[in-house]
Chains A and B, each alone.
Chain A
Amino acid sequence: GAGVSQTPSNKVTEKGKYVELRCDPISGHTALYWYRQSLGQGPEFLIYFQGTGAADDSGLPNDRFFAVRPEGSVSTLKIQRTERGDSAVYLCASSSGQGAAAFFGQGTRLTVV
Chain B
Amino acid sequence: AQSVTQPDIHITVSEGASLELRCNYSYGATPYLFWYVQSPGQGLQLLLKYFSGDTLVQGIKGFEAEFKRSQSSFNLRKPSVHWSDAAEYFCAVYGGATNKLIFGTGTLLAVQP
Contacts and interface: CB of A to CB of B under 8 A. Distances in A.
Given A42-B90, A101-B49, A56 B100 contact: yes
A57 to B, nearest CB: 11
Interface residues of A, number: 26
Contact of B46 (A98, A99, A101): A101
Given A41-B105, A99-B32, A101-B34, A106 B42 contact: yes
Contact of A98 (B44, B99, B105): B99
A56 B40 CA distance: 29
B94 interface: yes
Contact of B100 (A4, A48, A107): A48
B106 to A, nearest CB: 5
B99 A102 contact: no
Interface of B: 32, 34, 36, 42-46, 49, 51, 90, 94, 96, 98-106
